[in-house]
Copies of this chain bind each other. A is one copy, B any other.
Amino acid sequence: MRDPERTRASILGAAFDEIYHRGFHDTSVNEIVGKTTLTKGAFFHYFSTKNDLGYAIADEVLKEMVLERWIRPLAAYKNPVQGIISRFRKIIESTPDEHMALGCPLNNLTQEMSSVDPVFREKLRAVMQLWISETEKYLTKAREQGYLKPDVNPRQVAEFVVMVEEGAFAMVKNLRDKKVYWSLYGSLKGYLESISQKPTEQLSA
């Protein structure tokens, strides 16, 4: 007997991968089903349309990816600002060249679907809002703990940081040059240090 939750997760995983490589439009339900051990009938038991599957990818896969890659690791740092800098560095180091050419899954899906489908647009917007709000929480904490200058606006910095995290992937996808990542990393680090209150090296956990 199948475990429905596990089956659902395996469909989402296969679908995410196909869509990330080929785009939402160019990926068919048949191709997604072919990547699983299910029949097409069983697939439709889980997702009644391809769009429903796309929405679930935004609601479940992309939100989880954002939290797992960018947010949860910040809890391990005494100084959250240092955490944001370190996370960006580690993500650059661990991104395979293939993914660099493919870009950021959230940005790709937004570019492809947000002007076509308003439901998709809302769901993709919610992913980015979550990313910003969770980053903001850590920046608010950093300011409270004295790591950021008192006049810093955590929301404004969170919007800028997430824009850089996203925009860096888009630019590297365009230029196909990993060195640009490190250049952008250096600038983000310099920016965050310029709004920090004490030298970061004294503050890292």
Contact = CB atoms under 8 A, between A and B. Distances in A.
A114 interface: yes
Contacts of A128: 171, 174-175
A163 B160 contact: no
A190 interface: yes
B155 A114 contact: no
B183 A160 contact: yes
B107 A170 contact: yes
Given A111-B108, A170-B167, A174-B128, A180 B194 contact: no
Contacts of A111: 103, 107-108, 111-112, 170
A180 B124 CA distance: 16
A163 B102 CA distance: 17
Where chain A touches its partner, the secondary structure class is helix
Task: Report the copy number of this chain in the oligomer.
Answer: 2
Interface string A183-200: 110111011001100000
Contacts of A175: 125, 128-129
A134 interface: no
Given A102-B115, A167-B167, A159 B180 contact: yes
B102 A174 contact: no
A173 interface: yes
Contacts of A156: 183, 186-187
A195 B164 CA distance: 18
Q: Which of A156, A157, A162 has the most CB of B within 10 A?
A: A156
B176 A171 contact: no
Contact of A176 (B102, B125, B168, B183): B125
Contact of A164 (B129, B163, B176): B163
A11 to B, nearest CB: 24
A183 B159 contact: yes
A86 interface: no
Which 7 residue pairs spanning A and B have beta carbons closest together? A167-B167, A194-B194, A160-B187, A111-B111, A191-B191, A156-B183, A163-B167
